[in-house]
Every structure is written in C-alpha cells, then in structure tokens.
Amino acid sequence: MKQLSTTTVQRLRMLLSMGCLVPLAYLIGAALAGELGADPAAAVSHVTGIWALNLLFGTLLVTPLRKATGWCWLVRLRRTVALFCFFYAGLHLLSYLAFDQSFDGAGILKDLTTRPFIAVGFCSFVLMIPLAATSTDRMAQRLGGRHWRHLHRLVYVVAAASVFHYLWLVKRDITVPAGYALVLCLLLYARMMPGARSRSAPWGKGDTAATVRGKRVS
C-alpha cells in the first residue's frame, strides 16, 4: 500500500471530502431541527472551531504517519484536509463576526485590542490565508521548492496560535485544549528530531505528490 493508483487516490479524496462535510451537515440539520441548544451561536462557533483545529492537526499528522507506515499516498490527500481546515476556520471566524459582533467594526477592533484570545485566533486565520493561496502545485513551482517549504512551515505557528486561542477561550476545564497542546508538542519534537526533516511541507501540498526541485516527495 505504499503507492496507490491515481483513480484510487481520487476515490479516497472524494470519500475524505464527504467525511469533512459531515460537521457542516450536522450543523445545518441541527439548525433546521432547532436542536442547537440554548445558545445556537455558541454551538456553531464551537463545532466550526473544533473541526478547524482537528483538520489542522490532521495535516500535521500526515508526514509522521507516512514515515511510520510507508504509505506515500497519504501526502496526496493532505491538500484536501488543509483546504477543509481553512474552510471551517473561515466559518468559525464568520460566526464570530456575524453572531457575536453583528459585523460591528468598532466592537471587533475593541475585541482585538482587549481580548488576547480573539487577537491570537484572528492572527491564526490570517496566517492560514497565504498557506491556502499557495497550496497548489503551480504556486509551489512559481515560488520555488525552498521558498514554498519555508512559507508552509508557518503551519506550526498557526497550530500554536490556534491552541493558545482555545486555551485562553476556555475558562475552567482546560483538559481538551491541553490535550491538543500536548499533541502539538509531540509533533514539534518529532519534527526537530535528527533525520526527521522532509522535503514535503505539512500543509496542503500533494494532489500530484508535490513536485519540489522536479522530484516527487511522496
């Protein structure tokens, strides 16, 4: 299973996309049925935020899993996970702008300057934008493999900022965000271990197995 045919990978990508849409389908169904609870806005914010974080960690896990299993085709699914991560992060931000602030610029600016978890979360999303915008093979080739890889290492900054956003948001039981922090520390440790460097970056690349310097990295 180290290599799969293009047709099989396309089918897996389709199944993965359908799976990534399940949280959105749940939110829509629950909203139509009036089952989002006493605070629907908070429910939407939580579901979109937690799935953005889950999918972000999913992109970071691809390389360790590939190395552990030898399943090179995993890299070719990473872009799908990364773009859905960006999608849910966008919905999470939109829920804050719409439900919490009603698109009030003054209120948003006040939050950014007085509530650290809002500022960190906003910075996390802003840093995702260039990663999503340069996730294609064509953009990687235009930037050059070295510059592209350096840019996409920002995903670790995004992950750290997202975890701090979650930690600062939770006021009492920090068990869940602390778990994400622990996993991130383990991933960073694995990344810094001797011989752990890879030519593939942990965000978004992989539809055609990431051409870097004219070579496949998957």
Q: What are phi and psi of 215, to 5 degrees?
A: -120, 155
d(CA 52, CA 142): 28
Determine the pLDDT at residue 162: 97
The residue-averaged pLDDT of 186-202 equals 70
Rounded to two decimals, what is the model's pTM? 0.89
Which residue, among 179, 75, 165, has the nearest Cα to 127 in the 3D structure?
A: 165
- pLDDT band for 215, please (50, 70, 90 cuts): very low
Cβ burial of 146 (10 Å; 0-12, 13-18, 19+) is exposed
- pLDDT-based confidence at residue 192 (cuts at 50, 70, 90): confident
41-45, 55-59, 146-150, 165-169: range with lowest mean pLDDT? 146-150
b/e map 165-192, b = 16+ CB within 10 Å: bbbbbeeeeeeebeebbeebeebeeebe
Domain ranges of the chain: 6-205
How sure is the predictor about 171, in pLDDT bands with cuts at 50, 70 and 90? confident
Of the pLDDT bands very low, low, confident and very high (cuts 50, 70, 90), residue 213 is very low
Give the Cα separation of 74 and 4 in Å (integer): 10
Confidence of residue 14 (pLDDT cuts 50, 70, 90): very high
The pLDDT tens digits of the residues spanning 25-83 come to 999 999 999 999 999 999 999 999 999 999 999 999 998 898 888 898 999 999 999 99
